[in-house]
Amino acid sequence: MRVLIVDDSIVYRMAISQALENVPGIVVVGSVSNGQLAVEKIRQDPTIDVVTLDMEMPVMDGMQAIEEIRKFNKKIIVIVFSSITMKGAEKTIEALNKGANDFVTKEEATGGSSLSIDGSLQMISKSLLPKINAFSKVIGKSRATGLTGTGGTIGSASPSSMGASSGSFMDQMPIAPKLILLGCSTGGPEALTNLVKGINRKCTVPILAVQHMPPLFTKKLADMLDALTPHIHVKEAEAGETVQPGVMYIAPGDYHMKITREGKLVMDQGEKVSFVRPSATVLFDSAYRNYEQQMLCLTLTGMGDDGAAAIKNLLEKKTYIYAQDEQTSVVWGMPGAVVRAYPDTRLLPLESISGLLNSVFERI
């Protein structure tokens, strides 16, 4: 896998290079200091697989670079670096909407100064390397099958999932769900955008969603999704509110979200589950314990196995279990883990998932 590093900070360029240079299968093909140089390099070398892209740079910033790159290259994996600030969150959500595949947050030293190379190496090893490793599998699959799969071009649907209709969905769900549970991670913002844009019926049930993101980022994601359709209201969840039909509640960054028997939302900062907080497993388990009506559980693209540990409990409640298929997932970690926990999980390509939800809304 061939990686281009783009950052105006020489410290970060050196740190990323050092972190990647000894990783088997990864070749750093170069490092440049602004987006314009990156665009030129990618034009000259179409074999580059991944670009790590800073957002704040002179000459051409990260946002402009993404727009230019996507004009001629839909395939390259773009991972942006973002500051953990309100402005950084806004720009990151916009970058994901314009074609970035994922992001990592830049940690800063005390007083806002840049980290040392050692500190940067630790941050990169913790945050960037797992994402690059996950995307390496996507790149390998793309080369083997000829699918694009990322960068705004969704892979082909599996033959068994093509042509799914409202009727066929309802054949699988004799009792209409009264609550939808949703979990996603890497590739999730793009998947959620696709899902929300495809909703063309008035949402008639509450949707509780976990997307792995830091604080501030989940609020900006919810705001962006809310503007995409008049048929559903998307918001960052707040502690103590009672869930309402027609609303998608996104768990706030760094907080587990649970539902009580009274239908209220509870947030806490308990131990991370599957290395994440918020955790889909925590949400799903609270619904298993406290929600008595029919549920539908949907797992979208994501790294890791969050959510899978709760599937057997949800099956005791006869919950309908769906997951995004491997062909259209950026990373088939979370959906794959659900399938391993429950081999009869119903798989759908991304473009059919909003149809599933529309069919649910028509039944209420």
Q: Pick the catalytic residue from 61, 83, 142, 212.
A: 212
212 is catalytic: yes
- Residues 316/288, Cβ–Cβ less than 8 Å: yes
* Phi, psi (deg, nearest 5) at residue 117: -60, -40
- Work out the widest C-alpha separation in the chain, in whole angstroms: 59
How far is residue 331 from each of residues 132, 136, 191, measured CA to CA in Å? 11, 10, 11
142 is catalytic: no
Helices (H), the chain: 10-21, 35-44, 62-72, 86-98, 117-145, 166-172, 188-197, 217-226, 280-290, 311-316, 334-341, 350-363
The helix (H) or strand (E) run that includes residue 297 is strand 295-299
Tokens 């081999």 belong to 343
The sign of the dihedral angle between the CA atoms of 21, 27, 33, 34 is negative
Q: Pick the catalytic residue from 306, 329, 352, 354.
A: 306
The count of residues in the chain is 364
In which region does residue 246 sit, left (phi positive, over 0), alpha (psi from -120 to 50) or beta (all else)? Answer: left
* HSE, side-chain direction, 13 A CA sphere, residue 336: 11
List the catalytic residues.
185, 212, 306
